[in-house]
Structure 1
Amino acid sequence: MRKNFVWCVVLSAVLAACDRKKAVSEVDYADDSVIDSLFDSPDSLIFSSGSSDEELPKRADELFDDFIFEFARLKKVQLERVEFPLLSIVRGDTAWLTEKQWKYESLFMNQDYYTVFYNDEEQMELEKRTDLNRVDVEQIHLEKRLVKTCRFQRLKGEWRLTQESIRDFTAAEPLDKFMDFYRRFVSDAAFQQRSVSNPLRYVTTDPDDDFNTIEGTLDHDQWDAFKPQLPDGVITNIRYGQTYDNSDGMILVKAGISNGLMDILDFRKKDGEWKLVSYEN
């Protein structure tokens, strides 16, 4: 009797493990209500139908930005540049996705801009490097405090998606801590007003010379009139290799996809509190 009881316990554990593995691969990734309810649905109409003449430009693999825009736009390119079976990790649980399980990633192409977070101005030069071998594209869900990461690696000279993951915000990640501040900054008008330096450094293009800028200041009463549309909801971050070792500074770059416009917001921690100290457009 005792021996039969032990075998029942073992069998129950095995069945539970199988159910858990199935849940990761079929629920977390195949059920739209789980993933697409948190992050933008990848089956957006912005995707091309994938006709045979839609190929990556030859130079696309030199600069990551040139590649990622084509990857996010074209279904045909996505299927060609995903390493199947694709490693997928959801809160520590792993699964391997087949091509049939794969769902197209719209990334930031369902809006007219993308965002990147830097620790300082020097890191802003990283996106121009052609010797990068790994870049992470993150989708950050501010309300749910979740981060979905698509990892791209350059393999044999070609950029390829090699891993997807979803994790919760962590206390150990400096960017996560800043995101908790930023979430309140974009959703609480009174808090935002208190978090803007007075006066605020303001830099903009010279209306008489597009190649020059003019610098001035804005006071609190002018911020609402001059501020850009602040990214909220699910926002992106492209990690070209920048680190966030400085916990007292963060630069948000909002770059237009088709119009070339750019907003740069520089946040600094003063007396333990984050402040927007500079805005450039």
Structure 2
Amino acid sequence: MRKIILGATTLLLLASCNGQKAKIDPFKSLTNLVDSANEATDSIESDSVQEVPKPIKADETFDDFIFSFASDIKLQQKRIHFPLTFINGKSVSKIEQEFWKKDNLFTKQSFYTMIFDKESDMDLMTTTHLKSAKFEWFYMTTNKIKAYNFKRENNGAWMLSSISISSINSNQNENFLEFFHKFASDSIFQRSRIHEPLTFVTTDPDDDFSILETTMEINQWFAFSPDLPTVRLSNINYGQSNSDESNTKIVAMKGLGNGFSNTLYFKRQKNQWEFYKFEDLSN
């Protein structure tokens, strides 16, 4: 993963006629949790030592849980309803505990992504009243979704209740996953789908607690653009919609322990997706 770091000189050149607003990073708590999880030793992989079960906090958030679940095999075994229901289209089967292997979800990657239909959906990340949530993989080449479906028990514990694989229904409009796959892997196509000038939001070099909003030309985007995922997108679903009918999409990319933070904003114009806003809050 290539980290995007803009020098102060470049920022000042781009920042003419800019506005300022408070710096907001809705992914800060998630990243801190991943950093802590990645510092754990390999001893958690051993099944030879029996540990006292960890106490379950009634106010445990889904963010706290999902990273512990992905990094701790012993906790993972305790937080799955076995036999686990596995749904693949119309086929339903059961996975017995003895056949379950540790699933790291996205914690072994250098970054993760989150997908939203609109900016207001990002507020769901901070809610403390969730009863259900999902970790999802969106497969761009096959238009499939693999969802890990979690439910919160009466005692406050999050439990994996099922895993499901389903297809994304396409309509007459351009499918976003198909578009993003081509956008990420074909630079000529990408150039044709960028609004110019591209709105650009980045950290103020003179004030770490505020950001600048300006514009950049297409060639500047290609000079500073991150490496985009081309196979699958991860997502933590707190209840936000992810509809193919939506005419706006947000793809947030957050590094794991490397300070990388980029967000790409898209809108559908005349049945075609267009990239219109780029946010780089890397540090």
Shared fold by TM > 0.5?
yes
Flag the 1:201–1:98 CA change in 2: closer, same or farther, 3 A: same
Post-superposition shift, 1:101? 1.8
Answer yes or no: is 1:69 the counterpart of 2:67: yes
1:49 matched residue in structure 2: 45
1:162 matched residue in structure 2: 161
Identity %: 34
Q: Which has the higher contact order (CA 8 A, sep 6+)?
A: 2
* 1:106-255 aligned within 5 A: 106-156=104-154, 157-171=156-170, 177-244=175-242, 247-255=246-254
Flag the 1:162–1:154 CA change in 2: closer, same or farther, 3 A: same
Flag the 1:153–1:46 CA change in 2: closer, same or farther, 3 A: farther
Q: Do 1:61 and 1:67's aligned partners in 2 also have CA atoms closer than 8 Å?
A: no
Q: In 2, distance between residues paired with 1:265 and 1:211?
A: 21
Question: Normalising to structure 2: TM-score of the pair?
Answer: 0.76
Give the partner amino acid of 1:89.
I
1:22 matched residue in structure 2: none
- Consecutive unaligned residues in structure 2, runs of 5 or more: 1-40
1:90 matched residue in structure 2: 88
Instruction: Please list the CA deviations of residues 94-124 of structure 1 after superposition, one character each: whole Å capped at 9, or x if unmatched.
Output: 0111101212211111202211111111100
Larger Rg: 1 or 2?
1
Give the partner amino acid of 1:132.
L
Q: Do 2:82 and 2:97's aligned partners in 1 also have CA atoms closer than 8 Å?
A: yes
Instruction: Please list the CA deviations of residues 229-259 of structure 1 after superposition, one character each: whole Å capped at 9, or x if unmatched.
Output: 2122222111110114562100111122324
Q: In 1, distance between residues paired with 2:218 and 2:253?
A: 22
* 1:5-84 aligned within 5 A: 48-50=44-46, 62-84=60-82
SS in 2 for 1:223: helix
Q: In 2, distance between residues paired with 1:183 and 1:63?
A: 32
* Aligned Cα root-mean-square deviation (Å): 2.4
- Consecutive unaligned residues in structure 1, runs of 5 or more: 1-44
SS in 1 for 2:246: coil
Answer yes or no: is 1:269 the counterpart of 2:265: no
Give the partner amino acid of 1:49.
E
Q: Do 1:123 and 1:242's aligned partners in 2 also have CA atoms closer than 8 Å?
A: yes
Q: Do 1:87 and 1:95's aligned partners in 2 also have CA atoms closer than 8 Å?
A: yes
Q: Do 1:201 and 1:218's aligned partners in 2 also have CA atoms closer than 8 Å?
A: yes
Flag the 1:276–1:253 CA change in 2: closer, same or farther, 3 A: same
